[in-house]
Amino acid sequence: MSGLTRDILKWLQSLDLTTQIRNPKWEFSNGYLVAEIFSWYYPQEIQMHSFYNGESLAQKNKNWYLLKNFILRNSFDIKMEDVDGTIHCREGAAVQLVESMYEILTNKRVKKILPEIETDYTDFAYQQRLPMHARSTASKAVKNNLRLTEILADQNIITSTAKPDWFAQRTILKAQKIINDHIDHRRQERIEDPKRFGIKPSLGDRCVRRADLSQKLFSEPSHLTVTSDLQSELEWKQIWSKYPKKCGQFHNY
């Protein structure tokens, strides 16, 4: 039950579920317990005889197809990323899903510390803790972050066109995103530690940077600005107005 707060554990125990929850990552994967929780609050819409308590991908898809339609029909604030992560047993996805269900069904807030990094259900945070030589390559990143059930589910999507749009996530797009993120992370590592990768500065990097001459030529000097000219002219008129008579006497001589 790691990851679930005390309030959520007490709430789940009060529902008298058919299965004891030891590891949410596996217990909530097939969607049967999720349907059982919703059936306590919506018995007319969720009927347990329509769900299967099995572990095969076909049974998971049937259960979650009904649950996703129920979630969308009631406009619940549940992320489909959490649902897909729960189906494919991603770390932390089931906990996020149960917390969202708890807030919706009980109208209470979950007291927890917000993570510093947004959860994306990848092993990026784990890879950052590893030494540089032990981090995964591009092919290993695809293997770690793309499950076999996702590939099989996408094959079912290609042969069926009657499912909603949020089912349409292609394996190729997921794999390409994982590779692009891996390339971005490697590029950032090279910038942060160039000595580790033996990167030498180029001739352009070694050159001394000077200010652009065009900016100096076209920039207006401070003493030629309009405000400074008007101010100096006003000061000159004030000084001249103080001595009109003396200047006239000098001209008479």
**pLDDT at position 201 over 80:** no
- Cα(37)–Cα(183) distance, integer angstroms: 42
Q: Tell me whether residue 211 is in a domain.
A: no
Domain span at residue 46 reads 6-106
Task: State yes or no: pLDDT of 99 exceeds 90.
Answer: yes
Domain limit, last residue, from 139, 172, 192: 192
Number of domains in the chain: 2
When mean pLDDT is compared over 18-22, 63-67, 206-210, 217-221, the highest value belongs to: 63-67
User: What integer is the mean pLDDT of 82-104?
Assistant: 91
- Whether the per-residue pLDDT at 43 is higher than 60: the answer is yes
Q: Of the spans 33-42, 74-83, 128-137, which averages the highest pLDDT? A: 33-42
Task: From 43, 32, 42, 33, select the one nearest 12 (Cα to Cα).
Answer: 33
Q: Strand, helix or coil at 144? A: helix
On whether residue 117 sits in a domain, the answer given is: no
* Residue 182: CB atoms within 10 Å: 22
**pLDDT tens sequence across 167-183:** 445 667 778 888 998 89
Model confidence at 21: pLDDT above 50: yes
Domain identity same for 93 and 10: yes
Q: Confidence band (pLDDT; 50, 70, 90) for 112? A: confident
Same-domain status, 165 and 87: no
Listed in sequence order, the residues at least 6 apart from 47 whose beta carbon sits closer than 8 Å to its beta carbon are 39
Per-residue model confidence (pLDDT) at position 219: 56
